[in-house]
Structures are given as C-alpha cells and as structure tokens.
C-alpha cells in the first residue's frame, strides 16, 4: 500500500494495488474510490484532506 499527501492540492491518496484504474466513483462528496476492470478497489483519494482528517501528513501503521 502506498500513501501520499500533496499539501499543495490538499489531497490524500491511498493506493492498494498497481492494477490499472478502470473506473472512479465519488462515493461521498470529496471521497473518490478507484476500481480495476473486475470491480476491485485499487485506491482512493480524499479531497480537502486537511478538513477531513487529523494530520493528513502523518501516517500511523498498526499491524496486529
């Protein structure tokens, strides 16, 4: 998984797989989900991330 935050555009992007994006849907306003040709989630973008997420520039990884 790859997580990037662009401070200039205020977009947080999560990429789950390297499969090509076939379709994107704005599930909720400001939350875009990307799908591959089989309908599997490839990634997502969160627009205006600093307004929706505490500290979008910080990533915490918990492995159980």
Q: Spell out the per-residue pLDDT of the chain, length 64, in tens.
A: 999 999 999 999 999 999 999 999 998 999 999 999 999 999 999 999 999 988 888 888 888 8
- Coil, strand, or helix at residue 50? helix
Domains of the chain: which residue ranges?
2-52
Specify the length of the chain in residues: 64
Residues near 9 by beta carbon (within 8 Å), at least 6 away in sequence = none
């Amino acid at each position: 998984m790859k997580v990037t935050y662009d401070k200039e555009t205020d977009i947080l992007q999560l990429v789950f797989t390297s499969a090509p994006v076939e379709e994107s849907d704005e599930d909720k306003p400001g939350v875009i989900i990307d799908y591959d040709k089989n309908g599997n989630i490839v990634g997502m973008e969160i627009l205006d991330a600093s307004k929706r997420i505490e500290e979008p520039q910080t990533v915490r990884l918990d492995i159980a």
